[in-house]
Amino acid sequence: MSFKLPSLKYEYNALEPHIDARTMEIHHTKHHAAYTNNLNAAIENSDMAGMSIEKIMAGISKYPVAVRNNGGGFYNHNLFWEIMSPDGGGKPAGELLDAINSSFGSFGAFSDEFSRAAATRFGSGWAWLVRTDNGLVVSSTPNQDNPLMDIADVKGTPILGIDVWEHAYYLNYQNRRPDYIEAFWNVVDWNAVSEKFHG
Amino acid sequence: MAFELPALPYGQSGLEPVMSEKTMGFHYGKHHQAYVNNLNSLIEGTRFANASLNDIVMESEGGIFNNAAQVWNHTFFFESVTPGGRGEPGEELARAIDRNFGSFEKFRDEFGKAGTTLFGSGWVWLVKNATGMLDIIQESNAGNPLRKGLTPVLTLDVWEHAYYLDYQNRRPDYIKAFWTIVDWQKVGNRYLQV
């Protein structure tokens, strides 16, 4: 059984003006599709065929770099599409908000730290909100690494992530990564993040 | 003394259609400029305040290294290309390419493959080692071969910002087009320098 490119729960233009339709379409049908295809090719006829993506990530140090790069790319983009929505924005509520307040002091302190992690990740990568044994933590990873990987500095379950590869924003924002990060907050689906927090 | 953005040896539309004027406007006017500005503010009050760019690239770490090496790399990259390309590898470089890679076509294939397979942001380099042998290496992010005691001869920027407006996900098309603007006269002269 092979991994499949998921379809999005909204149209490519649904996140405009924050993320434009052309960026969404290329990002999903070209970049994410390529990671998916390359992942399937990399695990074919190996002991990873049939494993869950989470299990593959957890043992990534044992596997070829093509699995790390493409498996990470497959998982990370799945999560990215899931935690955005045209009805997003605002603030989380309930237990997730309590946990954010408890770990960061306030929602504003959290969002500042997350934005800074995204802005200062040099080169390609991701910034994350991670559920760990010691509460919620903000981290960033290079390229397509993620907190599920046994090689990550901060290990845990990612519940929110922002793609800061230039392909995620260059057509719309070019060199202005901070503007893209600021706009991202308008499309964060806190219900989806909350589900991952409880999941 | 503060570093300054070096002038481009051609106009910002000079590399069309390989690299569009819009791409060059951002790549040179925003990215390269930002690395220069960041470097200047980061070295202020440090032991690198009056150092040469080469010394900073060789000795610094972290944010200072990232910005210094990106200034160096972009300057070297923009000087490696010219509108319409120029000449062919000179006799000496051509012979070295044949000796090290088998043929010019094999060199180009190998260099192009290094460009397409570099995962994430970075640079592909043709370098000369201490004994004059050529090699192709990949460097992530701001990586620079001087740190490994190698002499850069040619480089290709494969950060997405170098090609995304013109080629989006089609990095191989960007690399193919790159060959039509390489300034072989310049690259050949670099090879001859010790």
- Chain B (12-31) residues lying within 8 Å, Cβ to Cβ, of chain A: 26, 30-31
Return per-residue pLDDT of chain A as tens, 199 residues: 699 999 999 999 999 999 999 999 999 999 999 999 999 999 999 999 999 999 999 999 999 999 999 999 999 999 999 999 999 999 999 999 999 999 999 999 999 999 999 999 999 999 999 999 999 999 999 999 999 999 999 999 999 999 999 999 999 999 999 999 999 999 999 999 999 999 8
Alpha-helix runs per DSSP H in chain A: 21-26, 33-43, 53-58, 65-82, 94-104, 107-120, 170-173, 177-184, 190-198
Taking the CA atoms of B164, B168, B170 and B174 in sequence, report the sign of the dihedral they define.
Answer: negative
Best of A39, A143, A173, A175 to substitute, by most chain B Cβ atoms within 10 angstroms, is: A175
Residue A67: both structure tokens together: 């699995």
Q: How far is A99 from chain B (nearest CA, A)?
A: 32
Interface with B, mutate which of A24, A39, A67, A166 (most B CBs under 10 A): A166
Q: Which residues of B69-91 are buried (b: 16+ CB within 10 A; e: fewer)?
A: bbbbbbbbbbbbbbeebeeebbe
> Three-state DSSP class for B88?
coil
**Per-residue confidence band for B57, with pLDDT thresholds at 50, 70 and 90:** very high
| Type of residue found at A83 | I
Cross-chain CB nearest to A170 (options B119, B120, B160) = B160
User: What tokens appear for B98 in the block?
Assistant: 């044949």
Q: Could you tell me the strand order of the sheet in which A135-142 lies?
A: A135-142, A125-132, A157-163
CATH code of the domain made up of B21-78: 1.10.287.990
Complex ipTM > 0.90:
yes
CATH classification for the domain delimited by B91-192, as one of 3.50.50.60, 1.10.8.350, 3.55.40.20, 3.30.10.20: 3.55.40.20
Contact assignment for A124 to B161 by CB distance below 8 Å: no
How many CB pairs lie under 8 A apart between chains A and B? Answer: 55
A26 closest CB neighbour out of B34, B159, B168: B168
Report chain A residues touching chain B, CB-CB < 8 A: 26, 30-31, 34, 65, 69, 122-125, 142-144, 165-167, 170-171, 174-175
Smallest Cα distance from B174 to chain A, Å: 15
Contact A26 B160 (CB under 8 A): no
Cβ pair B121:A174 closer than 8 A: no
What residue spans define the domains of chain B? 21-78, 91-192
Chain A residues close to B161, C-beta within 8 Å: 166, 170, 174-175
* Structure confidence at residue B193 (pLDDT): 86
* Interchain CB contact of B138 with A (< 8 Å): no
Q: Could you report the per-residue pLDDT of A79-88, keeping only the tens digit for each?
A: 999 999 999 9
**Phi, psi (deg, nearest 5) at residue A138:** -95, 135
Task: Determine whether the interchain pair B169/A174 forms a contact, defined as Cβ–Cβ distance below 8 Å.
Answer: no
- Tens-place pLDDT, residues B97-110: 999 999 999 999 99
**Structural domains of chain A, with CATH:** 20-199 (3.55.40.20)
Taking CA–CA distances from A30, the nearest residue in chain B reads B169
User: Which chain A residues contact residue B120 at CB under 8 A?
Assistant: 123-125, 142-144, 165
Strands (E), B27-149: 122-128, 134-140
What residues of chain A lie within 8 A of the CB of B169, using their CB? Answer: 26, 30-31, 34, 167
